[in-house]
Structure 1
Amino acid sequence: MLVKKIIKVVLLLLGAVYILLQGLAKEVEGAILSAIILMLLTWLYASWTKHRSKFFLSFLVTFTIAQVLNAISWYTPEVPLDKTDYFYYVINMLYIVAYALLILKTIKQLNLKTIFSELTIPIVVLVVLDVFCVTLISGTTEGSFSYYQYVLEYAYNAFVMALLSFALIDYMYRNNSKSMLFLIGTIFIAFSEIIQLAYFYILTDDSLGFVYSFFLVVAFFFLYLQSQHKVTDPIPAYVDEPIEVENLQ
């Protein structure tokens, strides 16, 4: 237990340092530190979590591998514009796989028949909003990418928005602390990804590095918190109970 507490404290301290490095535009140092943080977080989850989820563990492992490759990519020669940057494609596809694993984790614990029968209208609204948001967000960077990069970026944004939508559906269906923590975590992931996109391809404000890295750290904090809760049956929003009226004599 002492080792577990030490790792948690170290993770909090390293998370603060990571946010500071990103705020100072120290991309290389931040990439290396983020890989270390995720390796420690994966070790913490795998070693000291009572109710482990294979999907969540796979998400952590996949995301960690992507972060390690991202750190390594900073030490490789710069790829000319007319050449294919394989690191870019592999890293982003790993992120997509990681988010897909979280989506599968959410779908696995849903009763899809009940979901579609009770939440038909919210699901339709979410689909429309997702398509609109993904198209809008991806469109802001269309001129910065080649065709295949744009397709990958569009798919990336689609998976992020899909993750957020499934987390919201899970919360509306399950209505408990675990689903609420998961929803908060995915909200921060979505905000972090959107701001990161603006930071790298649209705006040149270094303060955005501080913001997106802070949101990312907070996102993983909530994702870890929800992982410590066991999956339970949905909690009704309200319960119809007969009211007993005493007859006064």
Structure 2
Amino acid sequence: MFVNKLLKVILLLLGGVFIILQGLAYEKEGAAVSAFMLVLLTILYCRWTTNKSLFFFWFLVAFTAGQLLSYISWYGPEIKVGEVDYYYYGANVLYIISYLFLIVKIASSFKLRDIFKELSIPIMILLLLDVFCVVLVTDTTKGALTGYEYTLEFTYNAVIMALLSVALIDYMYRDDRKSMLFLIGSIFIVFSEIIQLAYYYVLEDKSLIFVYSLFLVVAFLFFYLQSQLQLSEPQPNYIDEQLEA
């Protein structure tokens, strides 16, 4: 129990250090701290979580591997114009895989017949909004990326928007604290990624680094909190009850 609490305190302190380092533009040092922090978080989850999820575990593993690869890239050879940045592709593919594990984790608990019966209209609206947002956000990188890089960014943005949509559907379907925490974490992840994209391709304002780093830490805090709660039974009549009220 003492080690458990100690690890949580260390993680909170490291989260603060990571945000400060990123905000001061010490990105290499921030990458090292974030990678170490994620390793500790994975250990904390595996060692002291009662109801473990295999998908959430692989989410942590894949995201941690992506962060480690991002850190290693600082010590790799300089990428010249026209050369392929394998670190960039590798890290982003790992992030995409990690978010897919989260999507599968949530979607695998759905009863699809009930979901489409109760939430068909919200799902259609979310699908249209996802397509619009992904195209709009990814288009901000036009001219700055090659064709392959643009495809990767488009896929990345599509996956994080899908994560947010699945989280929202899960919350409407279950209406419990676990799904609410997961939704909040997903919202912070999406905003963190969008702000990071804006920093690299639209507006190089160093304050944006601080904001997206803060949002990333908060997102993982909520993801961890929801992982400590049990999955509840869905509330299939949630929408009908709200309409009648």
TM-score range, shorter chain: over 0.9
Q: Which residue of 1 aligns with 2:131?
A: 131
Query: After TM superposition, what 4+ stretches of structure 1 lie above 4 angstroms from structure 2?
Result: none
Offset at residue 228 of structure 1 (A): 0.2
Say if 2:85 is the partner of 1:85: yes
RMSD value, Cα: 1.2
Structure 2 distance, partners of 1:227, 1:71, is 27
Structure 2 distance, partners of 1:8, 1:173, is 31
Structure 1 distance, partners of 2:97, 2:204, is 29
Q: Which residue of 1 aligns with 2:10?
A: 10
Q: Which residue of 1 aligns with 2:19?
A: 19
Structure 2 distance, partners of 1:193, 1:8, is 25
Q: Which residue of 1 aligns with 2:173?
A: 173
Larger proportion of helix: 2
- The one-letter amino acid of 1:44's match is L
- The one-letter amino acid of 1:35's match is A
Q: For 1:65, what is the secondary structure of its paired residue? A: helix
Offset at residue 234 of structure 1 (A): 1.8
- The one-letter amino acid of 2:208's match is L
After TM superposition, the score normalised by the length of structure 2 is 0.96
- The one-letter amino acid of 2:77's match is P
Offset at residue 233 of structure 1 (A): 0.2
Q: Is the 8 A contact 2:171 2:183 kept in 1?
A: yes
Structure 1 gap ranges (5+): 241-249
Q: Which residue of 2 aligns with 1:102?
A: 102
Q: For 2:203, what is the secondary structure of its paired residue? A: coil
Structure 1 distance, partners of 2:239, 2:202, is 46
Q: Which residue of 2 aligns with 1:37?
A: 37
User: Identity rate of aligned residues, in percent?
Assistant: 58
Q: For 1:203, what is the secondary structure of its paired residue? A: coil
- The one-letter amino acid of 1:92's match is N
Map 1:111-150 to 2 at 5 A: 111-150=111-150
After TM superposition, the score normalised by the length of structure 1 is 0.94
- Over 3 Å counting, the alpha-carbon distance change for 1:208 and 1:238 in structure 2 is closer
Structure 1 distance, partners of 2:23, 2:145, is 25
Q: Out of 211-220 and 73-82, give the one that drifted further.
A: 73-82
Offset at residue 237 of structure 1 (A): 3.6
- Over 3 Å counting, the alpha-carbon distance change for 1:122 and 1:238 in structure 2 is closer
Offset at residue 77 of structure 1 (A): 1.4
Map 1:137-216 to 2 at 5 A: 137-216=137-216
Q: Which residue of 2 aligns with 1:49?
A: 49
Structure 2 distance, partners of 1:239, 1:7, is 44
Structure 2 distance, partners of 1:119, 1:155, is 25
Say if 2:236 is the partner of 1:233: no
Structure 2 distance, partners of 1:136, 1:238, is 30
- The one-letter amino acid of 1:108's match is S
Structure 2 distance, partners of 1:126, 1:141, is 23
Structure 2 distance, partners of 1:25, 1:199, is 12
Q: Which residue of 2 aligns with 1:245?
A: none
Q: Is the 8 A contact 2:182 2:223 kept in 1?
A: yes
Across the two proteins, how many residue pairs are aligned to each other? 240
Structure 2 distance, partners of 1:129, 1:11, is 35
Offset at residue 184 of structure 1 (A): 0.2
